[in-house]
Chains A and B, each alone.
Chain A
Amino acid sequence: MGKFTDVETDVFSVFASAAWITESISTYPANHIIENDGNEFIRVSIIPGGEGVNLHSVSGQLIVDIFTSAGEGPSRISAIADIVDSYLSGKTFKASGKTSQFHSGALGNAQVDEDNPSLYKAIYSISFNYFGVL
C-alpha cells in the first residue's frame, strides 16, 4: 500500500485492538457522521502533512478530539487523554508492514463545543513519522 494508507492502517490498528475496545471509549474516525451517541467519545483524524526521510516516508500529526459532558470539569478530559496517550506516546506500530513511530502527546484547546454546547471538547495531538522503504 501507499504511505498514506499505511499510516491509516497503523493508527487504526490501535483503535481496533482488543485492549482499546475494553477501554469502552466510543471512537470514530474523521468523516464519520456520529449519531445516537452519549456524552463521551473521541474522533480520530490523521494529518500526514509533513515530509518524510525519503519519498516513501511521511510525517504528520494525529489529532484526537475528545468530547465529554459540559459542566463537569476537566478531569474526564484529562483521564481520556492519558488513556489515549498510553496507547500512542513513544509507541511504534507495524500493522502496515512498515513502521509508524509516535512521539510525545499534548493536550490543549479545551472549550465548550461550538456545535453542541452540551459537550466539552479538547484536542489531543501527537506527531508521528512513518518510514517507508526506497
Chain B
Amino acid sequence: MGYAGLVRTNVGLAFDMLGDLVGDVIFHRNDVSGFDFSTKQNVTAPAVSTTVQAIVQLSKKQSKKRNVVNKSLLLQTVDLPDVTSYDTVEISGQIWNVGKPILDDGYVVTLEIYREV
C-alpha cells in the first residue's frame, strides 16, 4: 500500500474511533451542468440522495443582522469526492445549504453549511 492508501486507511480508522461523534448526514446531490437562457433555469439532472458519515463540528451564529446559523462538516473524501455548492445537506430532518469554499485535501472534505432560522 502506498502512502496515499495508508493515509486514507488511517483517516477511516480515525472516523471509526470517534464513535458517536460521527453521524449520518444525507447529501442531496444536484448535478448542475449549465444554464438555459431560454428558460432562465439551471440545467440539472434529477437529484440523487446519498448518506455519508460526517463529523458535525459546531454551530454558531454567523450574522449579526440576520438569523443565519452555520455548521462545519468534516467527511472522508472517499465517501463523497465531488461536493458542490448546489448540493444540500440534511441533518436531523433539517436542510442546510453548502457554502464556499469547499476544502478537499484528497483525504477529508471540510465544508460550511448554512441555513436561515
Contacts and interface: CB of A to CB of B under 8 A. Distances in A.
B is a partner of A? yes
Interface of A: 8, 12-13, 15-16, 26-29, 32-33, 35-36
A28 B36 CA distance: 9
Contacts of A28: 34-35
B28 to A, nearest CB: 16
Interface stretch (B1-9, B37-45, B58-66): B37-45
A95 B37 CA distance: 12
Contact of A33 (B36, B37, B38, B85): B85
A26 B37 CA distance: 12
Nearest to B38: A16
A32 to B, nearest CB: 5
B32 A12 contact: no
B84 A29 contact: no
Interface residues of B, number: 12
Given A12-B37, A26-B34, 4 more contacts: A13-B38, A28-B35, A29-B35, A33-B85
B37 A29 contact: yes
A35 B32 contact: yes
10 contacts: A8-B40, A12-B40, A13-B37, A16-B36, A16-B37, A27-B37, A29-B37, A33-B32, A33-B86, A36-B33
Nearest to A95: B38
Interface string B16-53: 00000000000000001111111010100000000000
Contacts, number: 26
B40 A33 contact: no
Contacts of B38: 12-13, 16
Interface string B74-92: 0000000000111000000
Contacts of B84: 33, 35
A15 B86 contact: no
Nearest to A26: B34
A16 to B, nearest CB: 4
Contacts of A8: 40
A32 B42 contact: yes
Contacts of A35: 32, 84
Contacts of A36: 33
A32 B35 contact: yes
B37 to A, nearest CB: 4
Contacts of A26: 34
